Amino acid sequence: MEYYCRLGDGHLIKMTKEDMKNSIEAGTNDAAERGEIPALTDDEQEFLLDIMCNPQKNVSVEPGNEIVVTHDIGTIRIDGDQGNSGVGIPVSRLAGILIHERAFGTDTMELGHIDYSFKPVKPIIFQEQQTVERVNLLATILVLYGAMPNLGLYYYPDGPFNNPSERFQAGDVAGALEAQEKAAEHAHRDMVYIMKNLWDVGCEGVNFDTTAAAGDADFYATLMATEELKRDTGLVVEMGMAAENVIGIHGSIEYKGMRLAGLYPHEQVKVAEKAGVDVFGPVVNTNTSRDMAWNMARAVTFVKACVEASDIPIHVNMGMGVGGTPMFETPATDMVTRASKAMAEVAKVDGI
Amino acid sequence: MNIEIGGDSMGKEELLKAVEDALIKLDEGALMKACDDALAGGVEPLEIIEKALTNAMTTIGDLFEKGKMFLPQIMVAADIMKKATAKLEEKIPADQKPEKLGTYVIGTVEGDVHDIGKGVVATLLKVNGFDVYDVGRDTPLQNFVDKAKEVNADIVGASALMTTTMVGQKELIELLKKEGLTCKTMIGGAAPTARWAEKIGADAYAENATEAVEVAKKLVGAE
Amino acid sequence: MGMPIAHVMASGMQGIRAAGDLVARMQFAKRMRLKEAKEYVAKKLGVDVIELVDVEVMRNLREELDIGVVTSVPGAATGIEAKARIAELLGIPIAPVERLKSKLE
């Protein structure tokens, strides 16, 4: 007998139970080997197999196992599209937040700007302050302000510093490292400037989205910003990562004695805790060429280790192409709900 | 064949392994010594380059992909490999010297400003023996074509991070064909997939930087 | 539909439709893990943990406590008013509420 499954890019395939079982085993072992963490137990793999082979189109958790669902970007995706999965209904960001609160049932929301990085917010901070004030008058749920640290915007041609890629290719390693260190200082300063201004008008918290997307220096800048914001304001901080492994583009940057390059989710969260992060969002990227049984087992393995290592709530990132979700703009709900259930009941996350 | 080194007998495989291990450990002194030992042991210099040094760089690429080694270390590896290669090439007749694997033009398509991943790929390709021409990010498609013609590219690689910009990869492939270029094409980035590559007629797709190197080598027939 | 709605349907606590927003607030405000946050909120509301996601129980309770309900009811607390009541109920500061109070003082 064959069961429906999908590839990581969302394409529908069929697999036998034996194939699914082997995929799950291979996926969890891949994560275990890379992260030097335990693979899923036989029972957990069996449970995942049952989820994958469930004949229902969509699945859900058992009553009592419900988790918190926080949402990043969200409001931007209703109005427009900044590169992934916007639906083009012209509503204000305020309306977008209320739609998520009152129609979609999310537990928190996020206000973000269409050019979803921190650096572009700086010149329009007054606009964002006013929007935060209005949102806070009407929203009942917790609303964070979110953006990407995006260290890449501090490199030439968008920013004042040399592009490390160009420096590496020119053989100038010292120049590449210096560029990252200087960019990190600026990014730290900008993130603090923006969030302190928003705190002044009553913003509840910040979501640093896709932290470390530009490597370990990007991670460092965000940790430093977190530390300063937690020290000087009452903002709550959510930190969502960009990949399961921090790319070592610098390689030597440390935060409180811990080298940041190469960290996996169970290690990333401990560094985030030291900076003062309140909620941590690990990311595991979906391999678009592998089947979702493999991808899901792999993602759950990494996240489970993160949950067990953590002292703070873990809200696993489960958007397009991450956390066991297919890499497709409109991912099929059959796989999304399976991943949701797996993360809630096997990885035991505190939220999505 | 065995040789005596310091009183111990070492076979060819062991000699090559010593070269490989020294490069992986980024130990320049040990690498040079291991190369000398291998040469003294009768191992052909070309074989040392093509087996031991190349294998080591492949392993280093894997370690980078797993987060066990980092980009500056890749550069160090490339630097000492270059020194070792230069030393070995002195023993190789001019007409047998190893050539560059190929010429690779890489960039991020117009409208897309992401280049961190593309930069990592470019760096890894370079250290693995390709001549790399990086045309940058948010690059007009004609720039890819012009550069490919100028340098007689073997492969043109295009990166796109977003679903809205990946159509640029399709347009680039069409443009390359229209302008009569016969180079191979490769795509990558967060949004593109293997099926997208197939759909638009790209010759290859890579999931990550390390895979990009392996795929590129296959495209030029290097493995 | 593919992401927020699918997740909420599969595993979510449904926000202000039930008590998900309150549990989320305790996670953020006090770094409570899920179990602890649920138990804390359930105790404050005087319900069992399982009832936190029971929309029938929570709708009536939220109306009674006037902490915001998901449908649009004239006169019912919403927005900043609901947040003020939630802050008091849960015993946590909520930034926009604190700001409003300090401005009014």
- Indicate whether B212 and B122 sit together in one domain: yes
Between CA B163 and CA B166 the distance in angstroms is: 5
Q: B116 touching A, CB under 8 A? A: yes
Domain count, chain B: 2
Between CA C7 and CA B148 the distance in angstroms is: 46
Contacts of C33 in chain A (CB under 8 A): 313, 350
Residue where a domain terminates, one of B70, B96, B122: B96
- Indicate whether B124 and B204 sit together in one domain: yes
B67, B113, B119 member nearest A245 (Cβ)? B67
Residue B157's domain is classified under what CATH number?
A: 3.40.50.280
Residue A137's Cβ-side half-sphere holds a number of Cα atoms within 13 Å equal to 8
Mean pLDDT of chain B: 90
- Indicate whether B145 and B213 sit together in one domain: yes
> Exposed (0-12), middle (13-18) or buried (19+): which is A234, by Cβ within 10 Å?
middle
Residue B28's domain is classified under what CATH number?
A: 1.10.1240.10
Q: Under an 8 A CB cutoff, do A168 and B71 touch? A: yes
- Indicate whether B41 and B146 sit together in one domain: no
Between CA B123 and CA B78 the distance in angstroms is: 10
Tell me the pLDDT band of B4, cut-offs 50, 70 and 90: low
DSSP labels, C10-42: HHB--GGGTTHHHHHHHHHHH---HHHHHHHHH
Q: Which helix (H) or strand (E) holds C85?
A: helix C79-90
Q: Three-class SS of residue B156? A: strand
- Indicate whether B106 and B136 sit together in one domain: yes
Residue A44 inside a domain? The answer is: yes
Helix C20-30 × helix C79-90 angle, to 10°: 60
Q: Three-class SS of residue A329? A: coil
Residue A272's domain is classified under what CATH number?
A: 3.20.20
Q: Under an 8 A CB cutoff, do C95 and A325 touch? A: no
Cα-atom radius of gyration of chain C, to the nearest Å? 14
Higher pLDDT: A86 or A201? It is A201
Q: Under an 8 A CB cutoff, do C4 and A100 touch? A: yes
Residue A256 inside a domain? The answer is: yes
DSSP labels, A243-265: SSS---SSS--EETTEE-TT--H
pLDDT of residue B9: 53
Residue A296 inside a domain? The answer is: yes
The predicted-structure confidence for B149-166, as pLDDT tens digits, reads as follows 999 999 999 999 888 899
pLDDT of residue B7: 40
Contacts of A7 in chain B (CB under 8 A): 195
Residue A230 inside a domain? The answer is: yes
* Beta carbon pairs, A and B, within 8 Å: 110
- Indicate whether B128 and B197 sit together in one domain: yes
Between CA A307 and CA A287 the distance in angstroms is: 22
A59, A235, A330 member nearest C10 (Cβ)? A59
Task: List all residues of chain B from 38 to 77 with a beta carbon under 8 Å from chain A.
Answer: 64, 66-73, 75-76
- Indicate whether B137 and B56 sit together in one domain: no
Contacts of A201 in chain C (CB under 8 A): 99
What mean pLDDT comes out for the span A37-60? 97
Contacts of A61 in chain C (CB under 8 A): 10-11
Residue A10 inside a domain? The answer is: yes
- Indicate whether B185 and B90 sit together in one domain: no
Q: Under an 8 A CB cutoff, do A330 and C20 touch? A: no
The one-letter code for the residue type at A207 is N
Residue B24 inside a domain? The answer is: yes
Task: List all residues of chain B from 138 to 177 with a beta carbon under 8 Å from chain A.
Answer: 161-165
Asked if the model's pLDDT at residue A6 lies above 70, the reply is: yes
Mutation for testing the C interface, residue in A68, A89, A311, A336 having most C CBs under 10 Å: A68
Asked if the model's pLDDT at residue A85 lies above 80, the reply is: no
Structure-token match 């404050």, residue found: C44
The predicted-structure confidence for C56-98, as pLDDT tens digits, reads as follows 999 999 999 999 999 999 999 999 999 999 999 999 999 999 9
Q: A236 touching C, CB under 8 A? A: yes
Mean pLDDT of chain A: 95
Tell me the pLDDT band of B94, cut-offs 50, 70 and 90: confident
Tell me the pLDDT band of A81, cut-offs 50, 70 and 90: low
CA angle (B35, B41, B43) in 5-degree steps: 70
Between CA A232 and CA A5 the distance in angstroms is: 49
Closest-CA distance of chain B to residue A158, Å: 9
Tell me the torsion sign for CA atoms C80, C85, C90, C94: positive
Q: Under an 8 A CB cutoff, do B161 and A171 touch? A: no
Residue A37 inside a domain? The answer is: yes
Q: Which helix (H) or strand (E) holds B32?
A: helix B28-40
- From A77-86, A274-283, A307-316, the region with the lowest mean pLDDT: A77-86
Say what percent of chain B tops pLDDT 90. 69
- The yes-or-no reply on A/C contact (3 CB pairs or more, < 8 Å) is yes
Closest-CA distance of chain A to residue B89, Å: 21
Asked if the model's pLDDT at residue B99 lies above 90, the reply is: no
Helices (H) and strands (E) in chain C, counts: 6, 0
Smallest CA–CA distance from A108 into chain C, residue: C21
Task: List all residues of chain C from 36 to 95 with a beta carbon under 8 Å from chain A.
Answer: 37, 49-50, 52-53, 67-68, 70-72, 78-80, 82-83, 86, 93-95
Asked if the model's pLDDT at residue A126 lies above 90, the reply is: yes
Q: Under an 8 A CB cutoff, do B67 and A247 touch? A: yes
Asked if the model's pLDDT at residue B6 lies above 50, the reply is: no
CB atoms < 10 A from the CB of B9, how many?
A: 9
Q: A172 touching B, CB under 8 A? A: no
Residue B1 inside a domain? The answer is: no
Contacts of B195 in chain A (CB under 8 A): 7, 9, 11, 288
Domain count, chain A: 1
Smallest CA–CA distance from B66 into chain A, residue: A34
The predicted-structure confidence for A265-310, as pLDDT tens digits, reads as follows 999 999 999 999 999 999 999 999 999 999 999 999 999 999 999 9
A71, A100, A138 member nearest C79 (Cβ)? A138
Contacts of A252 in chain B (CB under 8 A): 70, 72
Closest-CA distance of chain C to residue A152, Å: 27
pLDDT of residue A27: 98
Distance of CA B83 to the CA centre of its chain: 17
Mutation for testing the A interface, residue in C5, C7, C50, C99 having most A CBs under 10 Å: C7
Residue A244's Cβ-side half-sphere holds a number of Cα atoms within 13 Å equal to 28
Asked if the model's pLDDT at residue A83 lies above 70, the reply is: no
Cα-atom radius of gyration of chain B, to the nearest Å? 19
Q: A76 touching C, CB under 8 A? A: no
Contacts of A205 in chain C (CB under 8 A): 28, 95
Say what percent of chain A tops pLDDT 90. 88
Residue A30's Cβ-side half-sphere holds a number of Cα atoms within 13 Å equal to 21
Q: Under an 8 A CB cutoff, do B163 and A329 touch? A: yes
Domain that holds residue B188: 102-219
- Indicate whether B159 and B106 sit together in one domain: yes
Between CA C60 and CA C47 the distance in angstroms is: 12
- The yes-or-no reply on A/B contact (3 CB pairs or more, < 8 Å) is yes
Q: Under an 8 A CB cutoff, do A102 and C16 touch? A: yes
Q: Under an 8 A CB cutoff, do B66 and A34 touch? A: yes
Is residue C47 within 8 Å of residue C61, measured between CB atoms?
A: yes
Domain that holds residue A116: 2-347
Residue A352 inside a domain? The answer is: no
Tell me the pLDDT band of B115, cut-offs 50, 70 and 90: confident
- Indicate whether B92 and B120 sit together in one domain: no
Q: Under an 8 A CB cutoff, do C10 and A340 touch? A: yes
Query: For residue B152, what are the CA distances in angstroms to A213, B84, B143?
Result: 33, 28, 14
- Indicate whether B122 and B212 sit together in one domain: yes
CB atoms < 10 A from the CB of B221, how many?
A: 9
What region, left, alpha or beta, does residue C76 occupy, with left being phi > 0 and alpha being psi -120 to 50 degrees?
Answer: beta
Contacts of B165 in chain A (CB under 8 A): 83
Q: A253 touching B, CB under 8 A? A: no
The predicted-structure confidence for B20-77, as pLDDT tens digits, reads as follows 999 999 999 999 999 999 999 999 998 999 889 989 988 998 999 899 999 999 999 9
Helix B71-89 × helix A173-200 angle, to 10°: 170
Q: B178 touching A, CB under 8 A? A: no
Is residue A212 within 8 Å of residue A247, measured between CB atoms?
A: yes
Tell me the pLDDT band of A71, cut-offs 50, 70 and 90: confident
The token pair at A232 is 């000087």
- Indicate whether B125 and B181 sit together in one domain: yes
Asked if the model's pLDDT at residue C22 lies above 60, the reply is: yes
Closest-CA distance of chain C to residue A298, Å: 19
Contacts of C58 in chain A (CB under 8 A): none
Residue A62 inside a domain? The answer is: yes
Q: Under an 8 A CB cutoff, do A249 and B70 touch? A: yes
Between CA A344 and CA A338 the distance in angstroms is: 10
Residue where a domain terminates, one of B68, B96, B124: B96
Residue where a domain terminates, one of B96, B114, B148: B96
